[in-house]
A = this chain, B = another copy of it.
Amino acid sequence: MPPSDPAPPVSDAGPTVAELTEDDLLALIFPLLPVGSATLLGPGDDAAVVAAPDGRVVVSTDVLVEGRHFRRDWSTGVDVGWRAAMQNLADIAAMGARATSLVVTLVIPGDLPAAWVAGLAAGLAAACGPQDVGVVGGDLSGGDAVVVSVAVHGDLAGRAPVLRSGARAGDVVAHAGVRGRSAAGLALLAAGRGEVAPDLVRAYLRPDPPLAAGVMAALAGATAMLDVSDGLLRDAGRIAAASGVVLDFDPVADAFGADLTELAGAAAALDASAADWVLTGGEDHGLLATFPAGAAVPDPFRAVGRVLAAGPTGPGVLVGGLAPTTTSPGWDHFRG
């Protein structure tokens, strides 16, 4: 579970970043950053050196942009640091790998309180520390809006990466993590109704993906896997397309009945559809995987459907054997 906020090393009433030199700001941040056991050389030189015992390194990157992915009146620096780390750590988990390190670039306006930046570092540390992941480097720049770009590195320990392309007809579709909670929390914040379900708001602000489940899935023989960042249907469509198959989810009330119950209060308060949140809500960062029909689906995965051969209409996603009826297609970053 995400921890409560660490005590900020400086207060919001303290200096802005423009009132500090870059060296002052780095001196504030560096002691807060987590060190992982794979860190051979940490921040402070032109580059860091990280152990890659497998002889390969798994690499991904994700960015958070103020006004697009977060608002500073909703998210603290700690929230944004936590979320920037977690969405990247989930990508490594989705390959069946264990994360070793992050590097972070940070664009910040001059009037940002230095405490916000310290909070961001604390949020990165809160997310990474328990995973033994170090923040090994970064870069700072001024800019008009906050941008947090993270690159993440992981190790496969000799295993093959679990790709999106390996699902085969007959496989079981399974999911680990939460579904629709982040979208519901965001909808509550947007409506000014966060008090209806603070736990859902927190799920949006501090997603808590089942990181250890990625390696478990790989060890259990998962044939395909991804991190659900853009919504269950849309991301299932990516496995379907990459594998040339159809993913058929069980009927929503069967596969996701507990989610619908959990989201019912928020859905009623906003006159929204809990099923839409479950099927199309982004940023929960659960893991969607396929397993051979005979394999035991490892905890915390739950079977939620099956893989079918693609028919005449090609690869795609069904719910209860039918075309999904939700109206929301999931994220597109340059529209709506």
Q: Which residues of A contact B (CB under 8 A)?
A: 17-18, 20-22, 25, 40-41, 44-65, 67-69, 90-92, 94-95, 97, 101, 103-108, 110, 136-145, 147, 149, 151-154, 156, 161, 163-165, 225-227, 242, 332-335
A164: nearest chain-B partner, CB-CB: B45
Residues of B within 8 A of A51 (CB): 55-56
A142 vs B50: C-alpha distance when bound (angstroms) = 31
Residues of B within 8 A of A50 (CB): 56-57, 59
Residues of B within 8 A of A67 (CB): 143-144
Cβ contact of A69, chosen from B40, B47, B141, B154, cutoff 8 A: B141
Say yes or no: A110-B334 contact (C-beta < 8 A), given A59-B137, A136-B59.
yes
CB-based contact A55/B57 at 8 Å:
no
CB-based contact B151/A61 at 8 Å:
yes
A51 vs B153: C-alpha distance when bound (angstroms) = 12
A62 vs B103: C-alpha distance when bound (angstroms) = 10
Say yes or no: A47-B137 contact (C-beta < 8 A), given A57-B52, A333-B142.
no
Residues of B within 8 A of A90 (CB): 46
A62: nearest chain-B partner, CB-CB: B139
CB distance from A95 to the nearest CB of B (A): 5
CB-based contact A139/B61 at 8 Å:
yes
A226 vs B136: C-alpha distance when bound (angstroms) = 17
> What 19 additional pairs, Cβ within 8 angstroms, besides A50-B59, A61-B105, A62-B105?
A21-B332, A21-B334, A22-B333, A45-B95, A46-B90, A47-B59, A47-B97, A47-B154, A49-B58, A52-B56, A59-B153, A61-B138, A63-B107, A63-B147, A68-B143, A69-B141, A140-B333, A141-B333, A142-B333
Cβ contact of A156, chosen from B49, B95, B225, cutoff 8 A: B49
CB-based contact B59/A48 at 8 Å:
yes
A61 vs B152: C-alpha distance when bound (angstroms) = 11
CB distance from A183 to the nearest CB of B (A): 18
CB-based contact B105/A63 at 8 Å:
yes
Give the top 9 A-B pairs by smallest Cβ distance, nearest first: A151-B151, A52-B52, A47-B60, A149-B149, A63-B105, A46-B94, A61-B103, A105-B149, A46-B91
Residues of B within 8 A of A101 (CB): 59
Residues of B within 8 A of A60 (CB): 46-48, 103, 137
